[in-house]
């Protein structure tokens, strides 16, 4: 969605096989819409480069074409905030992964027999540890968010409290339907990636923040309610979806970070999800429980949080985790 006052940029027409690939992800693999959009962006970037610089299209690209694209991508610079730097290695790796998935699909459809990415090695990535806020910084953000006392600040406090209390993905939070809220606001039922459902408890502070927010929630619902805003916990009068967007929430957090004098480069919805997991583990929570609340299919994904804990906290997690002994002995 374009920002208010700016016309939406027209989307380029990609090769029909790209659309077929995305439909396969949606229909056969049950991929989330955000995942579909991420694949589209990656393949669109590849396609536009190939058309402009190699006079070819993604469906017939050669290994040399793909290597030229990856080399060009890795040499590019981009600006984020006040900082300019090279495209991240993980971005290059993700684009290559998207192309691998696409060409596997093309081969499975008998459109071509060779995979031009098969001989290309993925760029080596160092371990990237999640950015994490301290408990004091999270408290400062919540305190600062509530100072204005307006409906918008009440909503922002609720969003932060909910995210910090549940570790929801930002798309799960902003798109939370009212029907997902459990009795007396004690838990939420989430339908996550690949349709996996999970129940996540809501902390007392988050419950209180939600009760306060529900008193002003109707102010975010338009009179005509054309997009059925009433069904969402965080409705929006200006969003096509009828609920607050991820982009708007991220922008609100950046503005809040500056007001709270917390480094805005370290504040985002996903960083608050990291804070939820890390602070739970630091205080002795079981790794398996945190995995379930985060909605991770593989516990190895959750274990990355133990790498940013101190030795004492890490030892506590490993001691309490039911698989630690078997892993140590293997």
**Residues annotated as catalytic (active site), given as ranges:** 169, 193, 270, 273, 296, 305
Counted residue by residue, the chain has a size of 330
Task: Using alpha carbons, list the distances in angstroms from residue 283 to 202, 242, 314, 320.
Answer: 17, 38, 10, 12
3-state secondary structure 75-120: HCEEEECCEEEECCHHHHHHHHHHHHHHHHHHHHCCCCCCCCCCCC
Which residues lie closer than 8 Å to 287 by C-beta, 6 or more apart?
281, 299, 302, 303, 306, 317, 320, 321
Rg (CA), the chain: 22
Task: Using alpha carbons, list the distances in angstroms from residue 307 to 137, 267, 291, 300.
Answer: 20, 20, 15, 12
Q: Which residue's structure tokens are 């939420």?
A: 188
Cα separation, 42 vs 37, whole angstroms: 9
Which residue pairs, CB below 8 angstroms and at least 24 apart, start in 101-104? 101/21, 101/39, 102/17, 102/18, 102/21, 102/39, 102/43, 102/58
Which residues lie closer than 8 Å to 244 by C-beta, 6 or more apart?
159, 174, 232, 234, 235, 236
Strands 197-201 and 187-191: antiparallel
Cα separation, 296 vs 200, whole angstroms: 13
């Amino acid at each position: 969605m374009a920002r208010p006052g700016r016309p939406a940029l027209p989307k380029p027409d990609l090769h029909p096989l790209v659309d077929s690939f995305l439909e396969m992800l949606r229909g056969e693999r049950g991929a989330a819409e955000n995942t579909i959009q991420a694949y589209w962006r990656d393949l669109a970037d590849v396609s536009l480069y190939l058309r402009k610089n190699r006079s070819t299209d993604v469906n017939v690209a050669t290994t040399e074409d793909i290597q030229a694209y990856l080399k060009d991508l890795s040499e590019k610079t981009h600006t984020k905030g006040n900082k300019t730097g090279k495209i991240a290695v993980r971005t290059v790796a993700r684009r290559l992964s998207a192309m691998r998935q696409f060409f596997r699909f093309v081969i499975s459809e008998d459109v071509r027999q060779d995979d031009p990415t098969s001989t290309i090695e993925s760029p080596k990535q160092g371990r990237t540890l999640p950015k994490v806020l301290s408990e004091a910084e999270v408290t400062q953000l919540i305190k600062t968010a509530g100072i204005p006392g307006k409906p918008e600040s009440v909503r922002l406090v609720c969003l932060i409290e909910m995210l910090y209390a549940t570790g929801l993905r930002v798309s799960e939070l902003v798109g939370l339907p009212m029907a997902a809220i459990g009795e007396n606001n004690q838990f939420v039922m989430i339908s996550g990636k690949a349709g996996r459902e999970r129940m996540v408890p809501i902390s007392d502070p988050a419950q209180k923040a939600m009760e306060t927010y529900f008193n002003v929630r109707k102010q975010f619902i338009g009179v005509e309610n054309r997009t059925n805003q009433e069904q969402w916990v965080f409705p929006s009068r200006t969003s096509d979806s009828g609920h607050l967007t991820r982009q708007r929430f991220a922008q609100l957090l950046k503005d809040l970070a500056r007001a709270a004098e917390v480094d805005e480069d370290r504040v985002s919805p996903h960083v608050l999800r990291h804070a939820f997991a890390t602070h739970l583990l630091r205080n002795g929570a079981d790794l398996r429980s945190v995995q379930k609340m985060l909605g991770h299919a593989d516990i190895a994904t959750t274990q990355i949080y133990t790498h940013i804990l101190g030795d004492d906290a890490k030892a506590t997690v490993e001691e309490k985790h039911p698989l630690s002994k078997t892993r140590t002995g293997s």
